[in-house]
């Protein structure tokens, strides 16, 4: 028996990993499964990576979106 994990989708606009048909953060329907790198921001106010990537909300993000 082969169990396949569902490929996560990422918003092309804000790079947030989302579930559903549109981004829950920016509302964009432009989603893709073609992405690489995974970043979890827990505290954006104190995160150097969040500052560099201009991320204001905690969550899961893709580093590279094609």
Look up the CATH number of the domain holding residue 43: 2.20.28.90
> Is 16 in contact with 61 (CB distance < 8 Å)?
yes
3 assigned to some structural domain: no
The pLDDT value given to residue 55: 95
Total of domains in the chain: 1
| CA 36 from centre of chain | 10
The pLDDT value given to residue 6: 73
Of the candidates 31, 27, 49, the residue with the CA atom closest to the CA atom of residue 39: 49
48 assigned to some structural domain: yes
- Domain limits at 45? 9-65
The values of phi and psi at residue 32, to 5°, are: -145, 155
pTM of the model: 0.85
4 assigned to some structural domain: no
Mean pLDDT by 10 residues, the chain (66 residues): 79 95 94 96 97 95 95
The pLDDT value given to residue 2: 74
């Amino acid at each position: 028996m082969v169990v396949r994990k569902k490929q996560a989708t990422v918003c092309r606009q804000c790079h947030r990993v989302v579930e559903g048909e549109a981004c829950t953060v920016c509302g964009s329907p432009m989603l893709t499964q073609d992405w690489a790198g995974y970043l979890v921001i827990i505290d954006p106010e104190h995160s150097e990576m969040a500052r560099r990537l201009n991320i204001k909300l905690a969550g899961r993000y893709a580093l590279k979106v094609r």
